[in-house]
């Protein structure tokens, strides 16, 4: 793992950039889990939002992290794919969302409530397979 990739293991907060219909970026703050062995991000998102629509149209995305008052930044460019939308409390999409929640937050105090919320909110998992990392680290920084 190179130093830029390591920036993504030091946090779980990033800005996700998708491509709007007119070609301009649409940027959202997100929480993620990064699997360095698979070089893959997993992010819980909501169906019907701009980023979800953009990804369905164009799966090219980027994630951006900033470290220590600008002493470093990293960008992960990748190809996105989406799970199915949660429609039933016990469907595969909800199971994927639970697995993601556990990796980011640990155990939930009420899994039945969580399952119902995932269906009600029409949530799904965005997976980003990394194509390229780049960035900059101030000498002696990070």
pLDDT of the chain, 142 residues: tens digit per residue = 789 999 999 999 999 999 999 999 999 999 999 999 999 999 999 999 999 999 999 999 999 999 877 899 999 999 999 999 999 999 999 999 999 999 999 999 999 999 999 999 999 999 999 999 999 999 876 5
CATH superfamily of 3-86+123-137: Electron Transport, Fmn-binding Protein; Chain A (2.30.110.10)
- Enumerate the domain spans of the chain: 3-86+123-137
Cα(140)–Cα(142) distance, rounded to whole angstroms? 7
CB 57 within 8 A of CB 22: no
Residue 52 half-sphere exposure toward CB, CA atoms < 13 A? 16
User: DSSP label at 91?
Assistant: S
């Amino acid at each position: 793992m190179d130093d830029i990739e390591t920036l993504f293991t030091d946090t779980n907060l990033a800005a996700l950039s998708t491509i709007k219909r007119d070609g301009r970026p649409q940027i959202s703050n997100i929480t993620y889990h990064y699997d360095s062995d698979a070089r893959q991000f997993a992010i819980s998102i909501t169906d019907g939002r701009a980023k979800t629509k953009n990804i369905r149209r164009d799966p090219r995305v980027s994630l951006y992290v900033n470290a220590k008052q600008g002493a470093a930044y990293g960008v992960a460019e990748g190809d996105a794919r989406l799970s199915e939308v949660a429609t039933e409390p016990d469907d595969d999409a909800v199971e994927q969302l639970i697995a993601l929640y556990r990796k980011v937050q640990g155990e939930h105090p009420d899994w039945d409530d969580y399952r119902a919320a995932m269906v009600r909110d029409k949530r799904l998992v965005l997976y980003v397979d990394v194509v390229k990392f780049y960035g900059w680290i101030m000498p002696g920084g990070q």
